[in-house]
Structure 1
Amino acid sequence: MTYHVRPLGPADRQLAWHLGSLAFGYAEQPVPEGWTPDSPGRRVLGVFDPAGRLVAKADDREQGQWFGGRIVPVSGIAGVSTAPELRGRGLARLVLTRLLEGARERGAVISTLFDTTPAPYRALGWEEVGALVHHRVPARVLAEIGPDATTTLRPATEADLPAVSEIYREVARAGSGLMERSGPAFGATPAQVLAAYHGFTVAVDDTGTIAGYASWNRGPGYDANGRLTVDDLIGRTPEATRTLLAMLGAWASVAPTVLIRLGAADPVWSLVARGDAKPESARPWMLRVVDAPGAVAARGWPRHLTGEVDLELSDDVCPWHQGRHRLVLAGGNGRLEPGGEGTVRLAPRGLAAWYAGAGTPQQLRRSGFLTGGDAGTDELLRAATAGPAPTLHDYF
């Protein structure tokens, strides 16, 4: 059977909504007013059968994520759906392969997604590199944390949001994988940002400077089931972090459970015992390199690391970067030049895990994603992406 692939537009809104609702369980919801599949920063590809029926689709979100202190252009994959009767027929592969071609043409160099099941995405070169985890912490544990006497808390105002955004950006810049919260995917106004939460609290130090913030929602009830869900709790200083956590602890009598998104190395762990914080939910996320030379050039690299490694990349989904390349690192910059001897051979999933800092060369060898090279090439590749564990705090 011959299928036709094309971008979806306003005329396809009902078809796209219906197919997505079957896959993700919102069939009873009407199409939102003003929603279209081609909203700013989003490109949706659809697959049509000969009868003109939409049988598969996938969304390409224009976004950025921080790696090595720089924003890397990303294709955020979402809304991947296939008609129930045609699953397992290769339609997801068809639409995702075409989507990656278009994403590369618009400038994306890597792709990330949250997977409901990893197998079909691994078959196309994505690899799991991290997870968005909500931890469940008893509020009574946080109540034992004493607030800082020189730090005050108050509700955020719209005028506070530039300072809040800069605090988040400082953390994102120093991390690995965190979203850049600007551009078409983050077009909410300050009023809309504040309205999305029951509480948006800023911590102010003794100089009047905003030193941290927490965004949170209060669940229903005031019995043993009462809870707070905290999307962000970020302190620029230990005093701000401690005081914000103490505020959450003060809810213990009416909301005894706090759900909070935390990365593996969050400073909150210096104040909360890991045995007291149980994972409530984990959403794994995956990464794929779309344009290897562009991806190497886009991210930052260790400033004091200088060296070269000859690589050979295999990739039948993104064949434009297959073959031999020389990785050259110097002064915090990197480039991937054509040529070299192909000393180290990387499969797409190995390239993804290495690029994200989610796997060392030794781990990739044991997984079968990396072959060739020696202790010297392993050491350089390990040092190149060593650092914070890949972390995402935004679901898409």
Structure 2
Amino acid sequence: MHSPSPFSSKSRSPEPLSSKPPSPDYDFRAPDDWSDFTEVVGLAYGGYDHSPEHRATVAELLEPKRSLLACAAGRPCATLAGYSLDMTLPGTGPRPVFGIGYVAVSPAHRRRGLMRDMILRVLSDLHTTRAEPVAVLNATEPALYGRFGFGAASQAVSLTIPVEARALAEGPADDGPPLTLEVTSPAEAEAAIARVCRACLAERPGMLRREGAWLRQALADPPADRHGAGRLLCMLATDGAGVRGYALYRLTAGWTHSYPRYTVSVQELSACDPAAYAFLWRALLDVDLGGTVTADARPVDDPVLALLADPRSAAPTVRDQLYARAVDVDRALSGRGYATEAEVVLEVTDPLCPWNEGRWRLITGTTGADCVRTRANADLALTARELGAILLGGGSLVQLARAGRVAELRPGAVQAAAAAFRHDPAPYCPVVF
């Protein structure tokens, strides 16, 4: 079970948090419920009113005892939502990680160090209670969280496949029963989708266990949030034994020279085997009335890029996705698997979490790893941000070293460590929290 983390305090954190530290007048406590977040989040994200269904969904996901609220004169002015997540790490099954979301500060309280203070309080509590060793978040502004030790740990690719580029190369052979297509509502397919999610959970680092409210979030379809598109639909790839994959998608009406050219927007696609995966993509690219097929966030090494006869015309655009940071270096690095055997001494700089600073000897193997403090000479020098970028096996140590963000202090150390840390397939998280 995850340890509760109230993060409650009426005093400033003992460490200076920025050039303008928060005033002692700020109180920090756990929220009672989502209503404590509503005003701050609304102001911070532009004053848009979300639908009642959306508010109910985020309220159901919120864990008040693991979240943090800052108040000034009794009124909420900054928020941080904390989530108890189970995430697949490289070479392991799902492991507890701490999710961070809805980090927001009211406009009148910006530039006072509140965000830094909240994140430090959360990380300090996780360290003190020996709770989750890794924290993860989705960054609205990518440049923001590097200063807090979060590195871009996964990437996603957006695709726009025009009508003329929808041809697929011959797909994988399928020796199983013939696949058939079923189109239904997500609600009716919920049980089948849950089974596919469980079956695919260990496929990639970054994948989250989705049950209960987390699965309902993925299937939610408030009419007010469709923005002119049709309702959410679900394709199922089935055979005589059951469902082998699903796709969530919607259509947006469009016409070109009196011909229907609807946009097919793929929200999610997951399958238990390559044949079912290719089957679903072929079905999506052949939807009646369909024109352009879009997919906003797919794995950076999505197999569809190898299936498309003309992948260039899909205009793949790569962007950052999940950000990660080590709460405790030793627990984070010894809690994941590695591709090769290696021994490397890391010199870590982490001013926000000084308990992580110093030299760490990491000994990796294909069946486990050990990470302990050492006085030995360092092989690599890096900050918490770079360490976060390689935690899930997606960031490249070689790339970081060539960019000057990792220093190689022993010849050959970068290549050896890079081979151990990297994971294939690449990490990917389909959930925004």
Instruction: Return the TM-score normalized by structure 1.
Output: 0.84
Structure 1 stretch displaced more, 14-23 or 98-107: 98-107
Matched, 1:58 2:80: yes
The superposition leaves residues 160-195 of structure 1 with CA deviations (integer Å, 9 ceiling, x where unpaired) of 75664454445442323222324x762539xx9487
Length, aligned pairs only:
386
Q: What SS is found at the alignment partner of 2:268?
A: strand
Using the TM superposition, give the Cα deviation of residue 21 of structure 1 relative to its aligned residue in structure 2, in angstroms: 0.6
Matching residue within 241, 251, 271 for 1:218:
251
User: Match for residue 366 of structure 1?
Assistant: 402
Q: CA deviation at 1:17?
A: 0.3
In structure 2, what is the equivalent of residue 112 of structure 1?
136
Local SS of the residue matching 2:418: helix
Q: Matches of 2:201 and 2:377 in 1, distance apart? A: 34
Residues 354, 131 of structure 1: alpha-carbon distance in 2 compared, 3 angstrom cutoff: closer
SS at match of 2:278: helix
State the Cα distance separating 1:230 from its structure 2 match. 1.4
**Corresponding position of 1:18:** 39
State the alpha-carbon separation in 1 of the partners of residues 60 and 352 from structure 2: 25
Aligned CA RMSD, in angstroms, stands at 3.3
Which residue of 2 is the match for residue 277 of structure 1? 314
Give the counterpart letter for 1:262 in structure 2: R
The answer to whether structure 1 residue 150 and structure 2 residue 173 are counterparts is no
Q: Which amino acid aligns with 1:72?
A: R
Q: Once the 2 structures are TM-superposed, how far is the Cα of residue 38 of structure 1 from its aligned partner?
A: 8.3
Task: Find the counterpart in structure 1 of residue 294 from structure 2.
Answer: 259
User: In the alignment, which residue of structure 2 is the partner of 1:324?
Assistant: 359
Task: Report SS of the residue matched to 1:20.
Answer: helix
The one-letter amino acid paired with 1:338 is R
Q: Which structure 2 residues correspond to residues 74-113 of structure 1 after superposition, within 5 A?
A: 74-104=97-127, 105=129, 107-113=131-137
Give the whole-Å Cα distance in 2 for the aligned partners of 1:288 and 1:4: 26
SS in 2 for 1:119: coil
Distance 1:358 1:243 in 2: 27
Query: Do the aligned partners of residues 348 and 150 (structure 1) sit closer, same or farther apart at CA in structure 2, a change above 3 Å counting?
Result: same
Cα pair 1:145 1:246 within 8 Å, conserved: no
Equivalence map 1:25-36=2 (5 Å): 25-29=46-50, 32=55, 36=59
Name the stretch that deviates more: 63-72 or 145-154.
145-154
1:200 aligns with 2:217: no
Gaps of 5+ in 2: 1-22, 223-230
Match of 2:334, SS state, is: helix
Amino acid at match of 2:292: T
SS in 2 for 1:257: strand
Give the equivalent residue in structure 2 for 1:297.
334
Report the CA distance between 1:159 and its aligned residue. 9.0
Instruction: String of CA shifts for 1:271-292, please: whole Å, max 9, x gaps.
Output: 2132121247956332211121
Alignment partners' CA distance in 1, 2:64 and 2:156 = 23
Task: Indicate the residue corresponding to 2:225 in structure 1.
Answer: none
Identity of aligned residues (%): 25
The answer to whether the 8 Å contact 2:326/2:388 transfers is yes
Going from structure 1 to structure 2, the CA distance change for 1:249 and 1:90 (only over 3 Å counts) comes to same
Are 1:341 and 2:376 counterparts?
Answer: yes
Of residues 227-236 and 83-92 in structure 1, the stretch that sits farther from structure 2 once superposed is 227-236
Give the direction of change, closer, same or farther, for the CA distance of 1:378–1:87 in structure 2 (3 Å limit): same
Q: Tell me, what secondary structure is at the counterpart of 1:16?
A: helix
Structure 1 unaligned regions, length at least 5: none
Q: In the alignment, which of 188, 198, 205 is matched to residue 216 of structure 2?
A: 188
Would the aligned equivalents of 1:310 and 1:340 in 2 still touch at CA under 8 Å?
no
The answer for the alignment partner of 1:395 in structure 2 is: 432
Q: Name the CA distance, whole Å, in 1 between partners of 2:221 and 2:359.
A: 51
Deviation at 1:92, TM superposition (A): 0.9
CA distance in 2, matches of 1:153, 1:145: 20
**Cα offset, 1:363, TM superposition:** 2.4
Distance 1:375 1:143, change over 3 A: same
Residues 187 and 159 (structure 1), Cα distance of their counterparts in 2 relative to 1, 3 Å cut: closer
Structure-1 separation of matches of 2:362 and 2:203: 23
Q: Match of 2:417, SS?
A: helix
Whole-angstrom distance in 1 between the partners of 2:221 and 2:56:
19
Contact 1:310 1:342 (C-alpha < 8 Å) held by counterparts: yes
Distance between the aligned counterparts of 1:65 and 1:176, measured in 2? 7
Alignment partner of 1:248 out of 284, 293, 296: 284
